């Protein structure tokens, strides 16, 4: 990887890239639908990995109630979801930081790389998910599902924020790392350099086939350009 230019900014996805919540998010969405609407809902039946929280809420709502949600119904769902997540994340037995994370983010910071988050989770949920592992301290900024329901757009928002911290930043100097083809597609659409990591549901072959510029088996692998 010596011929790869060093990244100026690295943007990390959260779920299955930095951490595994042990199902905390899915349980919290189920609780939100039950408490707010009195219906049983399983987001896994209506959505797939890498979707933004607003899309998860809308698609699951449509799937279980066969109609569009009102703005008030979505707001209530979001509130119940965050409240449940804030408690559940601390008691999730299978919660864990994924291999190599703390070593990598420390090393990137030491060599002057700016670290940020780009997550489909709403900002409150994203930061909550990182709290048990004390990982928020590594990331200067982020863009989230609450900034846009479209993954490519929120990735562009993250790059715009990064540009405020570093003069003359080119999109290709921003490396976006995630575990799903959606992360790869969003990075490519935003003009960033995509890095797939096979710590979620998708294999290295899947991520390579999705067009990732670089593919890692885990964050223990050598990071491109570093």
DSSP collapsed to 3 states, the chain: CCCCCCCCEEEECCECCCEECCCHHHHHHHHHHHHHHCCCCCHHHCCCCCCCHHHHHHHHHHHHHCCCCCHHHHHHHHHHHHHHHHHHHHHCCCCEECCCHHHHHHHHHHCCCEEEEEECCCHHHHHHHHHHHCCHHHCCEEEECCCCCCHHHHHHHHHHHHHCCCCCCCHHHEEEEECCHHHHHHHHHCCCEEEEECCCCCCHHHHHHCCCCEEECCCCCCCCCC
Q: Report the pLDDT value the prediction gives residue 138, as an integer from 0 to 100.
A: 98
Of all residues in the chain, what percent carry a pLDDT higher than 70? 97
- What pLDDT is recorded for position 46? 80
pLDDT tens-digit profile of 25-84?
A: 999 999 999 999 999 888 778 876 668 899 889 999 999 999 999 999 999 999 999 999
- With bands split at pLDDT 50, 70 and 90, how would you rate the model's confidence at 2? very low
- Give the pLDDT of residue 42: 85
Report pTM: 0.92
CB 53 within 8 A of CB 148: no
pLDDT in tens, 141-191: 999 999 998 999 999 999 999 999 998 899 999 999 999 999 999 999 999
> Percentage of residues in the chain with pLDDT exceeding 90?
88
pLDDT at 60: 93
pLDDT at 1 over 50: no
Q: Which of 34-43, 100-109, 128-137, 207-216 has the lowest mean pLDDT?
A: 34-43
Residue 101: its pLDDT value, please? Answer: 98
């Amino acid at each position: 990887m010596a011929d790869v230019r060093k990244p100026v900014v690295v943007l990390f996805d959260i779920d299955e890239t930095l951490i595994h919540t042990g199902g905390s998010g899915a349980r919290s969405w189920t609780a939100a639908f039950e408490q707010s609407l009195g219906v049983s809902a399983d987001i896994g039946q209506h959505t797939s990995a890498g979707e933004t929280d607003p899309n998860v809420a809308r698609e699951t709502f449509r799937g279980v109630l066969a109609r569009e949600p009102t703005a008030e119904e979505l707001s209530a769902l979001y509130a119940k979801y965050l409240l449940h997540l804030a408690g559940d994340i601390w008691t999730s037995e299978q919660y864990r930081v994924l291999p190599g994370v703390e070593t990598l983010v420390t090393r990137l910071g030491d060599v002057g790389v700016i670290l940020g988050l780009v997550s489909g989770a709403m900002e409150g949920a994203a930061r909550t998910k990182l709290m048990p592992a004390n990982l928020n301290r590594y990331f200067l900024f982020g863009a989230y599902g609450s900034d846009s329901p479209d993954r490519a757009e929120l990735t562009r928002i993250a790059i715009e924020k990064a540009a405020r911290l570093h003069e003359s930043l080119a999109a290709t100097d921003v490396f976006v790392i995630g575990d799903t083809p959606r992360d790869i597609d969003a990075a490519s659409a935003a003009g960033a350099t995509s890095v797939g990591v096979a710590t979620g549901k998708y294999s290295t072959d899947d991520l390579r086939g999705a067009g990732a510029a670089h593919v890692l088996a885990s964050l223990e692998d050598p990071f491109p350009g570093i």
